């Protein structure tokens, strides 16, 4: 194959964190109802458990899915093929159609530092608000916001500490501060319903403890 025709290789490594966005082929839906959503989320969780992935944030919309995933081993490409291929087969059997449900190459970018991780995880949960399907991420069932914001105030779930420790020094403080940062993003989106995805990213704050909301236990 000519070099100019080849797909770019994924930047994989043990312990790498990736922002992954599988999109529908020709921007068509990848899910149509709650049964489809449950099937996709369950398959992703099952593959993630098998490979030991940690998911920092996730949000499933009708035409695409956002996830921030840490892979202990370089298994992102292999795992995505299983998730997307399996979901395509599910959709084809259910709706009597053929071909891939997803665009040919799933977009992903490797997250290089904690500042990027901070912004990406907030960005992901703000997507349903920016898309106009809800007024707050807590209202969208296929979004990780509530798990992160409303989790145990005394301890972190697996994979949470790296993200939430950037928001506060204890689990309860970190969860409240995370919720306040997300609320600030929601307020900005609702004030300007015309913002696109690039504007949404620009509106996510940098990680800076000095400007984060001050909360107390």
Distance CA 184, CA 108 (A): 27
**Whether the Cβ atoms of residue 212 and residue 177 lie closer than 8 Å to each other:** yes
Question: Of 135, 170, 131, 165, which is closest to residue 153 (Cα–Cα)?
Answer: 170
The domains located in the chain, with CATH, are: 11-112 (3.30.70.1290), 113-210 (no CATH)
Tell me, what's the pLDDT at 190? 85
Tell me, what's the pLDDT at 8? 57
Question: Of 20, 18, 100, 28, which is closest to residue 63 (Cα–Cα)?
Answer: 28
Q: What are the residue ranges in the chain where pLDDT is below 70?
A: 1-9, 193-217
Give 122's contacts (C-beta < 8 A, 6+ positions apart).
Answer: 181, 182, 185, 204, 205
Tell me, what's the pLDDT at 216? 37
């Amino acid at each position: 194959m000519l070099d100019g025709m080849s797909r770019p290789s994924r930047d994989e490594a043990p312990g790498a964190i990736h922002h992954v966005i599988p999109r529908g082929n020709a921007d068509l839906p990848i899910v149509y109802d709650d049964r489809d959503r449950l099937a996709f989320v369950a398959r992703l969780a099952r593959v993630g458990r098998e490979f030991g992935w940690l998911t920092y944030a996730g949000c499933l919309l009708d035409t695409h899915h956002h996830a921030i995933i840490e892979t202990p081993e370089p298994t992102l490409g292999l795992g995505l093929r299983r998730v997307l291929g399996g979901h395509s087969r599910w959709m084809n059997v259910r709706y009597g159609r053929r071909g891939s449900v997803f665009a040919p190459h799933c977009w992903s970018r490797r997250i290089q530092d904690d500042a990027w991780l901070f912004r990406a995880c907030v960005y992901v949960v703000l997507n349903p608000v920016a898309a106009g399907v809800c007024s707050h991420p807590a209202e969208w069932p296929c979004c990780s916001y509530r798990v992160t914001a409303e989790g145990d105030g005394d301890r972190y779930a697996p994979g949470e500490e790296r993200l939430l420790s950037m928001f506060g020094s204890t689990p309860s403080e970190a969860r409240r501060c995370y919720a306040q940062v997300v609320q600030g993003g929601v307020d900005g989106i609702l004030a300007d319903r015309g913002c696109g995805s690039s504007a949404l990213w620009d509106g996510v704050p940098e990680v800076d403890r000095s400007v984060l909301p001050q909360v107390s236990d």
